[in-house]
Amino acid sequence: MIKVEHIYKSFGEKPVLQDVSLTIEEGETLAIIGRSGSGKSVLMKHIIGLLKPDRGRVLVDGTDINAISYSELRRVRQQFGVLFQGGALFDSMNAFDNVAFPLQTFTTKTKDEIRKEVEHCLDVVHLPGVGAKKPSELSGGMKKRVALARAIALRPRYIIYDEPTSGLDPETSNTIDDLIKNLADQLDITSIVVTHDMHSVLSIADRAALIHATRMHWVGTIADLHRSNDAVLRAFVKANEYFIGEPSTPSAARAS
């Protein structure tokens, strides 16, 4: 379980997060939503200890990650896989070496063990046989999937997805959404999806948390979202060309 407790963060004179609290339950898929610049990615960076709050704390399985040594923080971070918005693959490495990198860095596995793990991870994301290809030879969707294979290489308990469908066409976005759902089920992973893509939210999430005007404005299940009369939440969803009502009501198709 991850608990964010009363986080405040400012950059210079600009407050970005104010009194933000959130609990992420074991095994759930939580979507953190909000407009561009709302603080979604800043909150994500606090969860994995890349940023320290001005006030407040983040607890990962009961450990305050801002009150431990750097070596202890590194061990906590190994429980996380992160799919960054652009994939963040190493351009100089082929797909195999990109996926192998965390295994080579953080484990004592043999070359043969690493090879088997990498092949397994590429199979999981439906990319067998692409290990020899460089990132420049891969499509945008394939890059995301290789990056996802790397994110699961250490068998993490948590995966953070930063705008996983950004810049992808609708069909490829659906493929990424399906992978997120399958990984959550098959690997029993807790998933945190930072996104403004309501198609993904309605497809994959158990709960959603809306950041608005530097604060955690709304948190609830997807069923709660459909029933909510909150004006800010409904305006955000409508801006994504979706309309919410009862869960059985079909949503608008993804905008082309």
| pLDDT 10s digits, 104-161 | 999 999 999 999 999 999 999 999 989 999 999 998 889 999 999 999 999 999 999 9
Q: What integer is the mean pLDDT of 99-107? A: 93
pLDDT in tens, 13-49: 999 999 999 999 999 999 999 988 889 999 999 999 9
C-alpha distances in angstroms, 68 versus 2, 45, 52, 144?
16, 17, 12, 32
Domains of the chain listed by start with CATH number? 1-79+159-221 (3.40.50.300), 89-155 (no CATH)
Strand duo 14-24 + 2-11: pairing: antiparallel
Per-residue pLDDT at 253:
39
Q: Strands (DSSP E) along 53-127, which ranges?
A: 55-60, 63-64, 80-83
Q: Which of 114, 166, 172 minimizes the C-alpha distance to 141?
A: 172
Confirm if 230 and 244 have CB atoms less than 8 A apart.
no
Q: What is the pLDDT of residue 243?
A: 56
pLDDT given for residue 247 in this prediction: 45
Q: Model confidence at 254, in pLDDT bands (50, 70, 90)?
A: very low
pLDDT band, very low/low/confident/very high, at 242 (cuts 50, 70, 90): low
